[in-house]
Amino acid sequence: MEENKRLVKVPTMAEMAANGEEPEILFWVGCAGSFDDRYKRVTRAFVQILEHIGIKYAVLGTEESCTGEPAKRAGNEFLFQMQAITNIEVMNAYNVKKIVTACPHCFNTIKNEYPDLGGNYEVIHHSTYLQQLINEGKVRLQGGGDFKGRRITYHDSCYLGRANDIYEAPRDVLAALDADLVEMKRIRANGLCCGAGGAQMFKEPEPGRKDINVERTEEALATLGQQGDSVIATACPFCMVMMTDGVKNKEQEENVKVFDIAELIAQAEGLSR
């Protein structure tokens, strides 16, 4: 088994440019995808999918820097624009046209807020991208793989959902798993935030009755029921942290796992075992 795999060398924009090449897509990894131990696994799963389908992609590597999103939501417009303008200079120098990212916060910022500052790109969230791959038959998921019949509930990310009206793509991706998909009460446009947006990720919550992620996790657990071996699916690094913490808080780690949709696809496709 060991031999039937190959080492991936993730291409960078700098290398491509040095060879006079341009990738079809830039994969914007984001800070969580680069540094957060849990979300690095999502980044790796997504790269495995990119490698599997054989698309010409590249990353910025160490040239990537925070989009400035958390600074902007926290009210630090100055720092946000500093980051944005610097990133835009880098990407424009590489003539970047199309960006895919696994972070809804990066996605929203680059797609909606960079154009005002001179950064005009086609920006796709990885949920939409995965949906396209499935629709085009590039990812086949024969028989649904590992997740066939398992109970999965999808937690809407605010910056994907309400912020950008993307509700179907992640659900379509999950539908391809042939799993037992169940919906929470507050979904889509009425979805409840995980509690991490607006830079809450980086601070303690204000005093209250309960933490927001606990409220949301309780709803997810009630939806999933007691059968165990079920999954909360997310499509955002912050949601993933919050839901994972929520499941821990409720001491349900044994019964409920939190996965990003890219991990589910990579696993079901047999790419990451």
Partner 1 sequence: MIKLENIIFLIVAAAGIGLFIWQIRKIRKNVLMGRDLDITDNPSERVKKTLLVAFGQQKMFKRMLPAVLHLFVYVGFLVINVEVIEILIDGISGSHRVLGFLGPVYNALMFINEILAALVIVACAIFLWRRNIIKVPRLSRGVEMRAWPKVDANTILIIEIVLMFALFAFNIAGLKLAELEGVAAVGRYPVSSLFVNLFGNNPETLHTIERAGWWFHIIGILAFMNYLPSSKHFHIIMAFPNVYYSKLLPKGKFTTNPAITHEIKAMLDPSYQPPTPKTDAEGNPVIERFGAKDVEDLTWKQLMDSYTCTECGRCTAVCPANVTGKLLSPRKIVMDTRDRLEEKGERPAIFAPNHYKELGVERVHVTEENTLLRGYITPEELWACTTCNACVEACPVGIDQLSTIMDLRRFLVLEESAAPASLNTMFTNIENNGAPWAFSPADRFNWSEELYVPNKN
Q: Which of residues 198-227 bind partner 1 (CB under 8 A)?
A: 198-212, 214-216
If one asks whether residue 56 binds partner 1 (CB under 8 A), the answer comes out as: no
Q: Which is nearer to partner 1, 48 or 252 (CB)?
A: 48
The nearest distance, CB 98 to partner 1, in angstroms, is 18
The site map against partner 1 for 160-189 (x = CB under 8 A) is --xxxx--------------------x--x
How distant, in Å, are the alpha carbons of 161, 168, 244, 273 from that of 176? 20, 12, 24, 19
Residue 65 touches partner 1, criterion: CB under 8 A: yes
Q: Based on the shown chain and the rule CB under 8 A, indicate whether residue 138 belongs to the binding site for partner 1.
A: no
| Beta bridge pairs of residue 125 | 101
Report 14-43 residues binding partner 1 (CB under 8 A): 29, 31, 33-36, 40, 43
265-167-202 Cα angle (round to 5): 80
| Sequence-ordered strand ranges (E) for 141-224 | 151-154, 180-182
Q: With respect to partner 1, which residue has the nearer C-beta, 81 or 255?
A: 81
- Least distance to partner 1, CB of residue 132, Å: 20
The tokens 């038959």 sit on which residue? 137
In this structure, the number of other CB atoms found within 10 A of the CB of residue 225 comes to 12
Taking CB under 8 A as the criterion, which residues in 146-165 touch partner 1? 158-159, 162-165
Considering only residues 15, 56, 75, 135, which one is a binding residue for partner 1 as defined by CB under 8 A? 75
Tell me how far apart the alpha carbons of residues 243 and 61 are, in angstroms, rounded to a whole number.
28
- CB 173 to partner 1: min, Å: 19
- Amino acid found at 92: N
Gyration radius of the chain's alpha carbons: 18
- Among residues 187, 165, 272, the alpha carbon closest in space to that of 233 is found at 187
Nearest to 186 by CA among 148, 227, 145, 153: 153
Binding to partner 1 in span 95-124, by CB under 8 A: 108, 111-113, 116-117
Closest to partner 1 by CB, 92 vs 190, is 190
